[in-house]
Structure 1
Amino acid sequence: MPSARAHGARTRLPLCPRGGRLTVALSLRSRLLAVSVAVLIAFVVLTGLVLDRAFRDSADTAQQARLEALLYLLMGSLEVDADGTLHLPAQLPEARLALPASGLYAAIRRVDADDGAAVRAPTRWRSPSAIGVDLALEALLEAGERRNEVRTGGDGMVFRVLTQGVRWEIGERPSRITFSVAAPLAARGADVASYRHSLWTALAAMAVALLFALVLVQRWGLRPLRRLARDIAAMEAGEARRPGAGAQPRELAPLVDNLDRLLAREHALVERQRKALADLAHSLKTPLAILRNAAPDDSLPAVVGEQARRMEDIVHYQLQRAATAGASRLAAARPLAPLVDRLLASLGKVHGQRRLELVNAVPVDLGARIDEGDALELLGNLADNACKWAAGRVVVSAVRQGGGLRLSVDDDGPGFPDGVALPQRGLRGDERTPGHGIGLAMAHDIALAYGGELSFARSPLGGARVSVWLAEC
């Protein structure tokens, strides 16, 4: 059966264009390094910001707790005379309150009131540390009222001010006394600045160490890819036959395996083409010798016609062998049932005068990694041969078997004679009669290209069954 592909029109993609260079915008190493640096910088910055915020919050909380404790100490230390004069002991509850500009300040304000009414005689007390500090601490709050504020002094310094209002009973006269304590905001203090310096210095050193470790890990992780690149370069230089000798990482093993299969397939294809050319030259010797020695009589046109047909069959057979694609795991699985439908429709027209029943018994969901031209040539030769010998029925079937694919063509004809042998390589092409041996020889060679075999058996229909088992399909 004629091939569905034009002989000699096969196109192969080389591993690398001759004289060309494969260029990429960014290497894998550069990409990984760029991503690693970006992630590392983001991690270090976010970590630093979180730790800095946590330390500032902790410092603010601790400062509030200290100011609140000082507020209660002042309340406990305050004494008020009958005339309303405020007295604090010479030894203040916090030593820094007696040191000017010590960073801790306090003030007390008293206001007499009749049931919270008009103010009469205000009395104030400021800690010695507050002398010269431009910060308003004379707030007046209602009894039980508390304020926690952040204020800016006249010199631009930011303070945290904690103020508490209480009701103080002096005899029968009630008074409102407001206690105020203040300190520079802890979040902007020297302790926080020192912590920030230490934090960012440590994080920068950690980032450099991690970046160095990432580079080392990256070099180690990409070593199999560099080794594979060297193996391919050695193959291009003719110093090696296959890539990836030795154990491969799990992620690279399928790539190396497929590359190895691709190279083996290309090598086998070249070998088949070389053998096909040798066989073609050998097979054409006999017909040419007959033509050269034919006597110039009336039988010469018949001899020429017969030998021309034989040479045409031989050339077709050898070219088909050379063009067989063979198995490839890189190819996608194609459904077989539609292909068999097309094939049987063509054969129905060729053998239409015989009114044969052509049956497609291939499951609809069955697919195989087989070249379309190889499939048409293989099944076409077997089905065409079955149609020539069938009495009225031909069945094409397929099934998964033994890790491969088994294709079968059955007919209800006389069957093959006992002891039929497969056509073997090395026989001359003129020893294969057209219409029988050539087709089976083609099917046999295609089966070998897919790691399979051709077998003959008695068909359930009563005739012959030709089965082809394809291992790599």
Structure 2
Amino acid sequence: MTLSLKLRQGLVSIVLLLLLLPSSFIAIDQAFFTQLLTSAEQKLEVHMYAMLSDLKIIDGKIELSNNTLSPDFFRPDSGLSAYVTSVGNNNTDAIVWQSDSSLSQSFSPPDTNLVPGEHSFYSYSSANEQYWLLSIALLFDSGEQTRPLAIHIVQTNSMLIAPYLSFRNTLLTWFIWIAAALVLLSVLAYYWTTKPLTKLDQEIRKLEGGEQDHLNGQYPVELTNIKEDLNLLLANQNRQKQRYRNHLSDLAHALKTPVAVLKTSPLSEQPELKEQLDRISAMIEHQLKRASSSGQDIWKKQFDILPHVDKLCNALQKIYRDKSLNIEVDCADNATFRGDETDLMEILGNLLDNACKACKRQVKLTVIQNPLNLIIEDDGPGIAKDARKKLFTRGTRLDTYKDGHGVGLSIVAELVSSYSGGMQITDSPLGGARFELIFPE
């Protein structure tokens, strides 16, 4: 599992959590509001039945006893009021009684379209104010006649909204604290559960960078098997590589001895035989170096470049002391190569040696990090453009040097290719050839 995948999983968990909390908040909020409406309707029903029980018509007027009604009906601005309406001649309702608390309201009861005995609880707007009404239609028998009446119990919207808003603010505060706590717990749980994976990822990166050669961290049971399998794979790879190199070394010694004997034979002085013996020696050396290259290794060690460059330059100064070489090195102290030291020495050794052979006096090596670039230049005659491709063909010689067998640059090309790198030849500002090697990070 990569870090990006773990991060995505953590973000998905937090997003789901943040979606669940608002959904829960809305559900609880709506449930409370619905319950508040039900409670308000039930309270208004109690007041309505109290009015019905005490409703009287005396001398054609509606009268109600003050003892049976709630004190809120007689207190101004209480938010609770009551109206009794009767259907007039023009089929419009007329107020025949209203509570004292309604005198300060600009409220007009709606026309009643209910069947006698039917009641309804609903929201109603009047004079730009919102109200909640419980209305009932009835036929009141006064003894002499039956009168159609309607009773309206009215409650202002503020009486309903005030407790709702108070509850909503309290609920919102709690949900914010709960969300913060859950997010914090999720982050801590994510960090705790992914800590071993992060540690394993860091160790694998160190293996790839050559900073260590095996996994040595302590991991949960689920990751212990992966750790042991990786260590086993690394150990097997190292054993096979070492065994392969040992066999190659033995093969080299076994082949070099008979070749050396043949070279001491008088027959080796014949030009054709001497050339073939030289080719055999060069091919043996080339194949051994190619087979022992670590460019294809998955896990590569990392080492500083500058000390190895200094060794090579000191050796070349002694070999070509007659030329009074000026070898300029531009390499940072912390420049590193991720791979085998022998491979780097083989690459730089061949290229610097060729540059020293071709130059008049000046050779320059430039090392650039991230990605690693090795640039070797000289002030020699250079290389013609149409001949540069042939330069990497084994056995091809573009110079007249007495030493070498034309396989050095083909070795360099194959080593660079084994590290998934690239090489190009251009003209140098110094006047000669410029070899640039590019290694991916």
Q: Give TM-score, length-normalised by structure 1.
A: 0.52
The 1:317–1:120 alpha-carbon spacing in structure 2 relative to 1, beyond 3 Å, is closer
Q: Which of 187, 206, 228 matches 1:215?
A: 187
Q: Which of 118, 121, 129 matches 1:148?
A: 121
Kept in 1, the 8 Å contact 2:93–2:112? The answer is: no
Instruction: Name the count of aligned residue pairs.
Output: 296
User: What residue is the counterpart of 1:85 in the other structure?
Assistant: 61
Q: Deviations over 1:399-455 (max 9, x none)?
A: xxxxxxxxxxxxxxxxxxxxxxxxxxxxxxxxxxxxxxxxxxxxxxxxxxxxxxxxx
Q: Deviations over 1:127-171 (max 9, x none)?
A: 1111121222253444234333211232x3311111110111222
Q: Deviations over 1:87-133 (max 9, x none)?
A: 10022421211111101111012348xxxx98799661001111121
User: What residue is the counterpart of 2:24 in the other structure?
Assistant: 47
State the SS of the aligned residue for 2:18.
helix
User: Offset of 1:239 from its aligned partner?
Assistant: 5.8
User: What residue is the counterpart of 2:52 in the other structure?
Assistant: 75
In 1, Cα distance between the equivalents of 2:136 and 2:5?
A: 65
Q: Which moved more, 1:26-35 or 1:38-47?
A: 26-35
Matches within 5 A, 1:238-253: 240-250=212-222, 252-253=223-224
C-alpha RMSD over aligned residues? 4.3
User: Offset of 1:39 from its aligned partner?
Assistant: 2.5
Matches within 5 A, 1:9-158: 27=4, 30-81=7-58, 83-111=59-87, 124-137=96-109, 139-141=111-113, 142-154=115-127, 156-158=128-130
Matches within 5 A, 1:4-403: 27=4, 30-81=7-58, 83-111=59-87, 124-137=96-109, 139-141=111-113, 142-154=115-127, 156-185=128-157, 189-232=161-204, 234-235=206-207, 240-250=212-222, 252-253=223-224, 255-257=226-228, 259-292=230-263, 294=265, 296=267
The 1:254–1:135 alpha-carbon spacing in structure 2 relative to 1, beyond 3 Å, is farther
Q: Give the residue type in structure 2 aligned to 1:102.
A: S
State the SS of the aligned residue for 2:177.
helix
In 2, Cα distance between the equivalents of 1:121 and 1:216?
A: 67
Kept in 2, the 8 Å contact 1:276–1:318? The answer is: no
In 1, Cα distance between the equivalents of 2:159 and 2:15?
A: 30
The 1:261–1:121 alpha-carbon spacing in structure 2 relative to 1, beyond 3 Å, is closer
The 1:233–1:111 alpha-carbon spacing in structure 2 relative to 1, beyond 3 Å, is closer
Q: Give TM-score, length-normalised by structure 2.
A: 0.55
Q: Report sequence identity in percent.
A: 24
Q: Deviations over 1:235-257 (max 9, x none)?
A: 4676642115444452x456545
Q: Deviations over 1:452-473 (max 9, x none)?
A: xxxxxxxxxxxxxxxxxxxxxx
Kept in 2, the 8 Å contact 1:287–1:311? The answer is: no
In 2, Cα distance between the equivalents of 1:46 and 1:187?
A: 27
In 1, Cα distance between the equivalents of 2:230 and 2:198?
A: 16
In 2, Cα distance between the equivalents of 1:89 and 1:110?
A: 19
In 1, Cα distance between the equivalents of 2:257 and 2:162?
A: 106
| Higher RCO structure (Cα 8 Å, ≥6 apart) | 1
Kept in 2, the 8 Å contact 1:106–1:182? The answer is: yes
State the SS of the aligned residue for 1:284.
helix
Q: Give the residue type in structure 1 aligned to 2:215.
A: P
State the SS of the aligned residue for 1:208.
helix
Q: Give the residue type in structure 2 aligned to 1:185.
A: N
In 2, Cα distance between the equivalents of 1:149 and 1:191?
A: 19
Q: Give the residue type in structure 2 aligned to 1:178.
A: A
State the SS of the aligned residue for 2:105.
coil
Q: Give the residue type in structure 1 aligned to 2:24.
A: T
The 1:319–1:233 alpha-carbon spacing in structure 2 relative to 1, beyond 3 Å, is closer
Query: Can you give the 5+ residue segments of structure 2 that lack an aligned partner in the other structure?
Result: 299-441
The 1:123–1:212 alpha-carbon spacing in structure 2 relative to 1, beyond 3 Å, is closer
Q: Which moved more, 1:63-72 or 1:261-270?
A: 261-270
Kept in 2, the 8 Å contact 1:63–1:186? The answer is: no
